[in-house]
Amino acid sequence: MKKHALLVIAMSICLLLTGCAGGVTNSAAPQTSAASQSESPQTVDFPKQNISVIVPYAAGGSCDLTARIIATGASKYLNNVNLVVENKEGGSGLVGATEAFSAKPDGYTLIYMPPTILTITSQMSESVFEWTQLKPIIRVMDSPLVMGVNADSPFQTFDEWVEYCRQNPGKFTFGIGSAASTGTMAFYSMVDQLGLDVEFVSFNGGAPLAAAILGGHVGAGMCNASDIKSQLEDGSMRALVNFSQTRNEAYYKDIPLIKDVVPEINLNASISYGFFANENVPDEIIQILHDGFKQAMEDPEVISQFSNIAAFAYMSGEDYMAQLEQDYEVNHGVLESQDMLKK
């Protein structure tokens, strides 16, 4: 396997990264109060018809499932129109992002996604839009990346896995949910810092990755914790380590943090999801959408459903964009140093 000597980076992934960021709060991310993007009186008649919500990954993963919960819950706060979730997978998320960008900028086509599609993928692959041309409306959640293994895996700890890889270079296959993602960068940073030779296979989303782990097609995976929450709870999978730097006592509290297992590693990886729209959608409509989604995030029934997967991590669109601008620059430097930028 070709080794990539990545620069040591603090993966804000929230990036999403850095990303990568709530259910688990990114320590580097600005925490936004409800007042920072305050609700305003509605002066336009919006929405008047159904809203399309694109999810750029396969059905069944945390991005898809959380999008559907929020879409259903936000309806009553958005004139009772239907928010119709459509899976448009492919191109590490760029297929769906391109469709969202190309739609009429009237607020009736949105995309719910991790911003790594903008801060990482768009720097690695050609796209028809600039990364800033899809602007965030609101951040909904943040989830840590963890190392997931099948319950039948011989590895009980992260240290055991590391020792195996050192004794068997090139023989272990690791899965990643997307080729151009926080998970990829976290994987390369991990193996570089540990001096490991490990093969990896990328999948089209968290659900296919989890299926591959359960089916024994890969020995472990860099998983969004929300994608495998049900498997962790039913015992069909285990998580050997949490690659973020913060432990959330409500979720994943028993998974060891990487900084506690291998203190010398500099790694902080999590993934956030939020709603985005074409930059030309009028600000008034963006505000209406923000307010509707935020009300849904505060709705007890929606919170109850959402908590089965993750926890909310509100951030206003303005603060989310400020974070992503920082992430883009960090990621650009890393990708450039590894000759991974698009030509």
Q: Outline where DSSP puts E strands in 196-251.
A: 199-202, 220-224, 237-242
3-state secondary structure of 85: strand
116-131 pLDDT, tens digit per residue, is: 999 999 999 999 999 9
Q: Name residues whose C-beta falls within 8 Å of residue 285's C-beta, 6 or more positions apart in sequence.
A: 44, 46, 106, 107
Percent of all residues in the chain with a pLDDT value above 70, rounded to a whole number: 87
For residue 29, is pLDDT > 70? no
Torsion of CA 118, 123, 127, 133, to 10 degrees: 40
Residue 330: the pLDDT is: 78
259-277 pLDDT, tens digit per residue, is: 999 998 888 888 899 999 9
Q: Outline where DSSP puts E strands in 246-311.
A: 270-278
pTM of the model as a whole: 0.76
